[in-house]
Amino acid sequence: MTGSANDPVLQALEPWLDGGVLLAVSGGPDSSALMHAAASLGAAVRVATVDHGLRPDSGAEAEAVGRSARALGLPHAILTWAGPKPGTGLQAAARAARYRLLAAEATAVGAARILTGHTQDDQAETVLMRIAAGSGPAGLAGMRTTRVLAPGLDLARPFLGLPKAVLVAWCEARGIAYLRDPSNADPRFARGRLRDAWPILAREGLTPGRLARLAERVARDEAALRSAAEQAFETARRPAADAILRLDGTILAALPEAVALRCLDHALTQAGAAPRRLERLETLVLESLLPALRRRVAIRRSLAGFLIAADTAGTVRLDPAPPRRARAKSAALAAGVSPLLGKGEPPAYIGGVCTDGPAEPGEASVLGVARTKD
């Protein structure tokens, strides 16, 4: 591979090019830099462009990316999002379709890793929108540099630590043409409105760099808390012939609240419960379960389709809720969103299920979801 010394773009990308790699390239400056940098490094990668079919020019733009890829000697595929499009939650649906199509293409060509062009600016937007949505630490940690997208398939973001301006300048210095997606400035979407607000936020010190640094710090702390909670879960778990799960409540009651909260969340996940709203988990654990365990009072509560019961001996049981109650809980979880800063407010979950950015109106997913890229 060509040397990458003194080139931040090549340095950021080079470690991610081993093995079968599929590049997700929309034609914007970030993903165009991704494709051209990979070619500059001599990497044997494949390229895919998702045509969402949401704008009249999308097909021609995807074909233009294909021509550029082939000129670089890189195989290219256009992945089309076919079928009817939703009237609400459009960007969430587009994101889900994009990753579904990319995962299918990666599997078909034998790629073990998909690379995207997300930047530090994207990370900052993600964190800011999750703050607005009331997310917990798992959400404020923002997008992860890498995550499992499907069994045997990782999604990675080599440029997550680079400002977008670096990638734009890299393209312009090399005469690399790129597209500009008009939806990125569309005031109908929260990210478009936020981008208009960045100059004001930056003057107050709320810069993309600082928000990205916040995400790094929160991710570090969240990982430590999650590890402590999983260890506590293994210590507190008891044989459960008559229940899905049994836990020693004495151990739970002695934990710091932040760890106890995550311990029960982990228990619910292990039991197969539906995703939890953070505020409902906090109400259950902090206002009901822990006080009851410390006073040795029996309680019985429900959350995410499960009954959580504590007896006077301090044993905590998790069992599936009766069907009617489980359905009611699921309906409540899927209920409409409330307005917040001019956008829909998704439920703020504690878990790290969603790792990809802010939500748009009508979307209900864990901690917010990423918008269409570039």
Report which of 6, 35, 338 is spatially closest to residue 179, judged by C-alpha positions: 35
**Average pLDDT in the chain:** 84
- Residue 327, by phi and psi: left (phi above 0), alpha (psi -120 to 50) or beta? alpha
344 has pLDDT over 80: no
Contact 370, 358 (CB under 8 A): yes
The whole-number pLDDT of residue 318 equals 96
Q: Provide the 3-class DSSP secondary structure of residue 142.
A: coil
The whole-number pLDDT of residue 191 equals 66
The percentage of the chain sitting over the pLDDT mark of 90, rounded to a whole number, equals 66
Segment 1-18 shows an average pLDDT of 86
pLDDT band at residue 3 under the 50/70/90 scheme:
low
d(CA 137, CA 160): 19
Contact 25, 32 (CB under 8 A): yes
231 has pLDDT over 50: yes
71 has pLDDT over 90: yes
pLDDT band at residue 112 under the 50/70/90 scheme:
very high
**110 annotated ligand-binding residue:** no
349 has pLDDT over 70: no
Contact 351, 9 (CB under 8 A): no
348 has pLDDT over 60: no
Q: Provide the 3-class DSSP secondary structure of residue 126.
A: helix
Which helix (H) or strand (E) segment holds residue 350: the answer is none
Contacts 24+ apart (CB under 8 A), 256-261: 257/285, 257/286, 257/290, 258/225, 259/225, 259/228, 259/229, 259/232, 260/229, 260/232, 260/285, 260/290, 261/229, 261/285, 261/286, 261/350
Residue 271, token pair as written in the block: 């039991």
The whole-number pLDDT of residue 276 equals 85
364 has pLDDT over 60: no
**26 annotated ligand-binding residue:** yes
The whole-number pLDDT of residue 369 equals 29
Per-residue pLDDT tens over the stretch 126-144 = 999 899 888 899 999 999 9
**161 annotated ligand-binding residue:** no
Q: Which of 48-57, 73-82, 92-101 ranks highest by mean pLDDT?
A: 73-82
Contact 24, 62 (CB under 8 A): no
358 has pLDDT over 60: no
Residue 84 neighbours by CB under 8 Å, 6+ apart: none
Task: State the Rg of the chain over Cα.
Answer: 23
Per-residue pLDDT tens over the stretch 293-343 = 999 999 999 999 999 999 999 999 999 998 765 455 454 444 433 333 323
Q: Which of 31-45, 199-213, 328-342, 352-366 ranks highest by mean pLDDT?
A: 31-45
Contact 23, 109 (CB under 8 A): no
For tokens 């733009």, the residue is 61
Residue 373 neighbours by CB under 8 Å, 6+ apart: 24, 26, 28, 30, 31, 98, 116, 117, 118, 122
pLDDT band at residue 346 under the 50/70/90 scheme:
very low
Segment 251-266 shows an average pLDDT of 97
| Higher per-residue pLDDT: 186 or 291 | 291
Please give the backbone phi and psi of residue 229, each rounded to the nearest 5 degrees, phi first: -65, -40
Residue 153, token pair as written in the block: 């398939």
Residue 327, token pair as written in the block: 């359905």
The whole-number pLDDT of residue 186 equals 58
pLDDT band at residue 13 under the 50/70/90 scheme:
very high
The whole-number pLDDT of residue 335 equals 41
The whole-number pLDDT of residue 327 equals 52
The whole-number pLDDT of residue 324 equals 64
Q: Which of 21-25, 130-134, 162-166, 225-229 has the lowest mean pLDDT?
A: 130-134
| Higher per-residue pLDDT: 209 or 185 | 209
Segment 257-273 shows an average pLDDT of 96
d(CA 372, CA 374): 7
The whole-number pLDDT of residue 361 equals 31
Residue 311 neighbours by CB under 8 Å, 6+ apart: 298, 317
**28 annotated ligand-binding residue:** yes
What is the set of domains in the chain, with CATH numbers?
A: 8-213 (3.40.50.620), 223-332 (no CATH)
Burial of residue 157 (CB within 10 Å: 0-12, 13-18, 19+) is buried
Residue 275, token pair as written in the block: 């995703």
Please give the backbone phi and psi of residue 6, each rounded to the nearest 5 degrees, phi first: 70, 10
Q: What are the Cα distances from residue 167, in Å, to 119, 126, 296? A: 9, 19, 59
Residue 78, token pair as written in the block: 């256009």
Segment 244-272 shows an average pLDDT of 96
